[in-house]
Chains A and B, each alone.
Chain A
Amino acid sequence: MSVQNVRYAFNSSMRVLGKGIWRDLVNIRRYKLRLIGWLMNMMIGLGAAYIFGVILNFNPITTSQTGILSTQVFVFFAGGIALSTFSDTALWAPMGRVQQDIHYGTLEAVFVTPTSRIAYLLSPTISDSILNLLFFIPAYIVVLGVHGSLTDGYVLGTTMLIVLLTIISMIAFGLFFAMLAILVRRIQPVAIFLSNIFQFICGAFVPVQAFIGLNQTGGTILKYIAQLFPYTYCYDLFRYYMFGDVYTTLFPVWLEYVLLVVSSFLFVGLAFLLLKRVENKAKDSGLAIL
């Protein structure tokens, strides 16, 4: 492929990505009810984080017994909400787009064009993330103000870092689920099951370091499997920022950043390769896409 072709493909992909984001933002602006629902959801989540933060802040016994600071508790809850919201976005937005476009027949109209499929599938992740951020940041700032942490760069920075890491580490898996949706029309229950397994392996419910405690051999194998996925490092770093030096990460923090970014790129690359195969498979069998 020549340099001009690469440049053309890149520019074209960026345009599709940009237009996809524009489409979703126009859509939500005109869907007032959905807009309000989204806003309310976010406010409720952050309100709950604030209440928990305040409760623990006013409980000197808890603070003295655990050594955990009120700020850390606040980061825990706000970060948790951010992690949950944005991992859902990255994981489900492309699949949602594919399912909707199959339902309305739009996917056919898209797949008959020479456009970059990856860019098309990534656009909902980015537009949903922008939308989430548009609501998340103002609400979050309000809660920070009430909590008295508005000038605390650590809290804001940590939460935003978690948002960024979550999106990066989950993008490829969002694409994998979108591909499943191209092949199989009613994939939602299977995808939810797979997502739960995946989250467990990556340490969402139990830290990866604790797998060995569950079972010596199985735990060790699971731990090695977990280390392949970027999301594992996302959770690990989240716990590190929550507990500080009390928590021992899988690898040194700098290395976890490197592993997170590198493995994310590798999985996106894998998704790129698989997508062509998935499209060919769908073309041969006349599956969900048709």
Chain B
Amino acid sequence: MYALEVKGVKKTYKSRKKETEALKGLDLQVKKGEIFGILGPNGAGKTTLIKICSTLLGKTDGEVTVLGMDIEKEEKEIRKRIGYIGQDSERSTYARLTGKENLEFFSALYNMSKEDFLEQLKEFKKTYENHEIFDKEVMRLSGGQKQAIVVMRGFLHNPDLVFADEISKGLDPIAAKRIRTFVKDYAKKKGKTVIITSQIMSEIEELCDRVAIIFEGKVVAVDTPQKLMDDVNIQLLEIRLRSTETATPEFIQEVVTLESVLDVQQENGYLRIPVSDSSKAFEAVMEMCRKFGINPVISYRTATLEDVFLKYCDKKVDLEA
């Protein structure tokens, strides 16, 4: 049994003037205990999918099974067993209550006993070391600390499955890292399934066991991050020019004609050079740089998740040439 199974789900938003098809027959399966990532550009349907699966939004067509239960027939039971962390939800706490009081309020909405709540709080304190967030009024916490309370709220009632929609959006790297660490440590320790959407590739790469890429309301790729990256056959040389150096059109023209070099793209003091054979190309490019009196910093990399994202979601940029 899957933690989440989505079959041919469609969602159309209707207004007086027009109809917008947000999901166009989407299929997805998430295994129990997985941290599963959903990637996609703005408007791809990620939030719509998360809201449908967490009972906040109705679907137009298709089937959704959450923890083996039908989303329409067993809505209330599903709500008892799932957690939800909404997008931009940092303000969704009660500002004048402390972090602990906020969690306590929501524990009542899940009908948790006082003992269970205190036990869960203890668990959170073990995983999230900054304990002051529990005792201060939320209005006095930083954005990252508020978000930590919201994330804990999603895990509060010990749900089997948690939906997390862009949990580190707008946070600084340190706060984002803390949130990610909390989610990963807590979910793995407790064996929870987490479905997370994000625009931050490194976040998905760090957290997720598998990733689905959604584009225009459909899943266009699903696999482990590593497998997805392996499938994008990219070998790339990146040349960082020093501030005193410029890549002349003649230099670029010469590099393009080198054996194994597929293309040269210039942006913000960098030259990105997709190649077919990195070792051959590296030597040839170094030689060309010396000829033009350029002393560059050259790095070599294979495909990143961003390249995977671009491959599926931006048809104009095809690094595989």
Contact = CB atoms under 8 A, between A and B. Distances in A.
B205 interface: no
B141 to A, nearest CB: 15
Interface in B122-154: 137, 150, 153
A262 B60 CA distance: 40
Contacts of B153: 109
A41 B166 CA distance: 44
Interface string B57-80: 110000000000000000011011
B93 interface: yes
B97 A23 contact: yes
Contacts of A31: 96
Contact of A23 (B79, B82, B94): B94
Contact of B86 (A12, A27, A108, A120): A108
Main secondary structure of the interface of A (DSSP, over half): helix
A16 B94 contact: no
A285 interface: yes
Range of interface residues on A (Cβ < 8 Å): 20 to 34
Contacts of A114: 76-77, 79-80, 109-111
A245 interface: no
B321 to A, nearest CB: 41
Interface in A81-123: 104-106, 108-115, 120
B14 interface: yes
B108 A15 contact: yes
A281 B92 CA distance: 23
B91 A286 contact: no
B56 A27 contact: no
A16 B97 contact: no
Nearest to A27: B96
B109 A284 contact: no
Given A26-B97, A105-B88, A112 B105 contact: no
B128 to A, nearest CB: 19
Q: Determine which residue in B108, B110, B150, B153 has the highest number of CB atoms from chain A within 10 A of its CB, and name it.
A: B108
B203 interface: no
A4 to B, nearest CB: 13
Nearest to B57: A283
Nearest to B52: A283
A16 B108 contact: yes
A113 B58 contact: no
A286 B55 contact: no
B90 to A, nearest CB: 9
A213 to B, nearest CB: 44
B91 A105 contact: yes
Given A23-B97, A283-B57, A15 B111 contact: yes
A112 B89 contact: no
Contacts of A105: 86, 88-89, 91-92
Contact of A113 (B93, B94, B110, B137): B110
B101 interface: yes
Contacts of B57: 283, 286, 290
Interface in A260-290: 280, 283-286, 289-290
B13 interface: yes
Interface in B261-319: none
Interface of B: 13-14, 51, 54-58, 76-77, 79-80, 82, 84, 86, 88-89, 91-94, 96-97, 101, 104-106, 108-111, 137, 150, 153
18 contacts: A19-B105, A19-B108, A26-B96, A104-B91, A105-B86, A106-B93, A108-B84, A108-B92, A109-B106, A111-B56, A112-B55, A112-B56, A112-B84, A114-B77, A114-B109, A283-B55, A285-B13, A285-B14
Given A106-B92, A286-B13, 6 more contacts: A104-B92, A106-B94, A108-B86, A112-B54, A115-B109, A289-B56
Interface of A: 8, 11-12, 15-16, 18-19, 22-23, 26-27, 30-31, 104-106, 108-115, 120, 280, 283-286, 289-290
